[in-house]
Structure 1
Amino acid sequence: MSAFIVSEKDSCSTRIREVLTFCGLECPSSHILTLDDTMRRLGREADIDLIVLVLQPHVEDALNLLTALARFAPGKILAVGPTSDSKLVLRTLRCGAFDYVDAADLEAELEAAIARLSDAITAPAEPGKLVALLSPNGGSGSSTIAANLAVSLAKEHQTVGLLDMKLEVGDLAALLDLRPTYTLSDLCQNVTRMDQVMFERSLVKHASGVHLLAPPQHLVDVAQVRPEGVAMATAMARSHFPYVVADLDHTFREEQMVILRQADIILLVFRLDFTSLRNVHRNLEYLDKLEIPAEKIRLVVNRYGQSQEVPAAKAEEALGRKIAHFIPEDAKAINRANNHGVPVVIEAASAKVSKSIMQLATSVNGRHRK
């Protein structure tokens, strides 16, 4: 495996090269580059498994280079910098780094990071598809849909990741009758040590093949959930599962935005009433300002068929968009399933609401089982 080092510090380059060589990576002295040399040199290289980029002393220049490398360079990019600046860690991950190494403990941290990356380096794979569910207001039923959508996808792919990002009120664990031991806040409190093993141990598995990463169990721990931790957890989920379903809240806080920006599909779940339609319109305007492509966003009406609801044609006219999917009202089947902690697609697989959710899963399913 071939590795390159991008650094302005000779002493740091020497230390990194020693670790890379010890770990069995090919890194001759000709693979040590400066920031200025990198684009010219790596633009002609095809055999690159790993790039180790040292951020200091020219942090902004290094981040600009990282952004460019993430667009074209093969292999994974490992950033080396201080972990005392959480904003820098987040910016680095957003720019395209796969992992972040603490410069203060370089040798040990780098060796651990290479061990974490070894599978990705030797067998690069397409990241799992990320499907985000967003409701414009409470009561839309997006959590019920998220749980059942994940279970439906797991029937095809055997294993699916499920992230509960409703940090204060998340109820996916209850809907699946699961009792998590660890949560997203635990991962975020250990963000500098987070690896695939720690991530997998934080998941709780449902019999269907769904693996849930739960929100904090206590409200006081919500503040521990940071965007950089969410970014790392999402990246690990996508490297581990063919599909990841994320149930978002409607606050548009930064940890929610991490997932919205990465999502392959955003399902905007709402009901056909005036309040929901007003909030859907506001959400669509805001997503447009965030420059999230409109083709990623699909409108999903839940509890369709209630009396006195706004006609679908008028809703589409008001929103200026077509509704992609309708999930029928079936309070009896949904309430019974939710109260039992059994997804309705399992509890009442033949019900119209279950068949509709399974059709929704088919519509987002861009991959076939291997």
Structure 2
Amino acid sequence: MQHAPLKLTPDAMISMPRIQPVGRTPHISIHAYCETPNLAASMQRAASDRRLYRATCDIRAGGISAAIAEYRDSPTPDLLILESAAAREDLLSILAKLAPVCDSRTKVVVVGTSNDIALFRELVAGGIAEYLLAPVGALTIIGAVLRLFPEESGTRLGKIHAVIGAKGGVGSSVFAQNLAWTVSHCTHATLLADLDLQFGTAALNCNIDCPTGFAEQLPEVDRLDGALLERLLFKRGKGLSLLPCATAAHIASDPDMATIEKVLDLARCAFPHVVLDLPHAWSPLVRSSLLAADDIILVAEPDLANLRNARSLVDFLRQSRPNDPPPRLIVNRVGVPKRVEIPPQKFAAALEVPLTAKIADDPVVFSAAAANGQMISEFSRKSAVTPTLEALAGQLTGMTARKKRKGLWGFWGGRAS
């Protein structure tokens, strides 16, 4: 009896990920041989992505035959991506001709049009690392590369959430601190890194005495490891750890970018979630942190100066992070008496980004919480900002608030006819 081949839907293959791929590749070489403009364009977008910035990508026209001709006299790269529209027998035949010229260390990804599980199994059994069903997008390629070449640490990487203000004094630092505290109550392992090295307030607002900031204690990048980073942390409650600046404002120079990159790599290896409190400054430290972040939260007040600055920041992010979602917009201090304001929805529409949340002006609660060294939810669970923080924390962590059960009656009641 002859069985019909089992077909894979595009969703069953390694297609567009439902979530953004996390991590960065090590230093590898990638060669792609494209038969269609669609794959060439997707490869170009993937090659310019922040997660593949360590990889050296070479995108060429032609399929498997062109690759065979090229590698008869030259070594193959770490990753070889080949596109072919050939049918099953022809594809297996031409891949057999590739094998003698392909180094054993090279991982091969085939992009094809045959939607057949039997072919997929034959390719994997023959040494092909991955099979992608065309058409593929940039995120599909990035996800496949990250799975084949994970970072050297070999551990599961946490996510970095960067919080930045469109203008000085909009409350982005207070928001970042409260967000980190709220996320820590969802996952019980969160790091808040205060990267405003000159005037950071994380230690002050969390009631921590820190005479010397973490940046001044960082050694050379070669000596920095997880154990040393652990000694620089301050604990705040059950699940929140802090990398604070000095309690007293002082002049501090930015560390070397390689050192900051190593700190972020170590942090995301140790914590499921890392919240960065970024200063309102256009420095290499801020740019590097924005490019390394998995999520960006933009805090602004509803006035014209904030709109201008936010527009510049959003344009920069669109250009430098083309495969990432737009930043999450938080419009803060809405409803200040006697101030002419831009309505939050119009503010978001002008930036062409969705409005994540708006926070009403409440100077009494915020100032009282800061004076007591407490977070908003600690000081007042009934504060209007608490549900906003909990909702955003749920979006970032993927954990939503669970509904309270009503005992067995709730279960049986749902099944009653």
TM-score normalized by the length of structure 1: 0.66
Quote the residue 1:358 is aligned against. Answer: 390
Q: Structure 1 residues 224 and 351 mapped into 2: Cα distance closer, same or farther (>3 Å)?
A: closer
The letter of the residue matching 2:348 is: E
Instruction: Count residues in correspondence.
Output: 270
Structure 1 pair 283–176 and aligned structure 2 pair: CA distance change class (3 A): same
Equivalent in the alignment of 1:263: 293
**How big is the shift at 1:71?**
4.8
Cα distance in 2 for residues equivalent to 1:138 and 1:44: 48
Q: How does 1:122-161 map to 2 (within 5 A)?
A: 124-125=155-156, 127-161=157-191
CA contact (8 A) 2:296 2:327 kept: yes
- Whichever residue aligns with residue 303 of structure 2, its letter is D
Instruction: Select the structure of larger CA radius of gyration.
Output: 2
Does 2:311 match 1:281? Answer: yes
Alignment gaps of 5+ in structure 1:
1-5, 7-34, 47-66, 78-119
Deviations along 1:309-358, one digit per CA (max 9) or x if unpaired, are 21123323322333121122211111000111101111111111222222
Post-superposition Cα deviations, 1:282-331, rounded to whole Å, max 9, x if no partner, equal 21122233235451411111112334321123323322333121122211
What is the distance in 1 between the residues matched to 2:359 and 2:190?
A: 22
* Equivalent position to 1:315, from 343, 347, 365: 347
2:213 counterpart of 1:183: yes
* AA aligned opposite 2:387: K
Number of the residue aligned with 1:41: 104
Q: Secondary structure at the match of 1:42?
A: coil
Check the 8 A contact 1:151/1:208 in 2, yes or no.
Answer: no
Q: CA–CA distance in 2 between the matches of 1:220 and 1:333?
A: 28
Per-residue deviation at 1:192? 1.8
* Cα distance, 1:70 vs structure 2: 7.4
Q: Judge conservation of contact 2:200–2:249 (CA < 8 Å) in 1.
A: no
The 8 Å contact of residues 330 and 353 in structure 1, kept in 2 or not, is answered as no
The whole-number CA distance in structure 2 between the counterparts of 1:75 and 1:314 is: 42
Correspondent of 1:174 among 204, 208, 229: 204
Equivalent runs, 1:54-65 vs 2, <5 Å? none
Larger deviation: 127-136 or 290-299? 290-299
Q: Which moved more, 1:36-45 or 1:154-163?
A: 36-45
Secondary structure class of the residue paired with 1:223: coil
How far apart, in 2, do the equivalents of 1:356 and 1:71 lie? 33
Alignment match of 2:369 (pick from 318, 323, 337): 337
* 1:134–1:142 CA contact under 8 A, matched in 2: yes
Gaps of 5+ in 2: 1-27, 29-73, 79-102, 109-123, 125-141, 402-417
Answer yes or no: is 1:235 the counterpart of 2:265.
yes
Are the structure 2 counterparts of residues 362 and 285 from structure 1 closer, same or farther at C-alpha, using a change threshold of 3 Å? same
| Structure 1 residue 216 displacement after superposition | 5.2
**Paired residues of 1:181 and 1:202 also in contact (CA < 8 A):** no
Structure-2-length-normalised TM-score: 0.59
- Alpha-carbon distance in 1 for matches of 2:105, 2:363: 58
In terms of fraction of residues, the more helix-rich structure is 1
Offset of residue 359 of structure 1: 1.9
In 2: Cα distance, 1:331 partner to 1:251 partner: 25
Q: Give the alignment partner of residue 237 of structure 2, picking from 207, 219, 239.
A: 207
Contact kept? 2:183, 2:397, Cα under 8 Å: yes
Distance 1:74 1:289 in 2: 26
* CA RMSD between the two structures: 2.9
Shift in CA distance, 229/209, structure 1 to aligned 2, threshold 3 Å? same
| Structure 2 CA distance for aligned equivalents of residues 72 and 242 of structure 1 | 18
TM-superposed deviation, 1:160 = 0.5
**1:86 counterpart residue number:** none
Taking the aligned partners of 1:44 and 1:298, their CA distance within structure 2 comes to 37
Deviation at 1:173, TM superposition (A): 0.7
Residue number among 310, 320, 344 corresponding to 1:290 in the alignment: 320
The corresponding residue for 1:94 is none
Structure 2 CA distance, aligned partners of 1:174 and 1:220? Answer: 14
Q: 1:275 to 1:294 in 2, by over 3 A?
A: farther
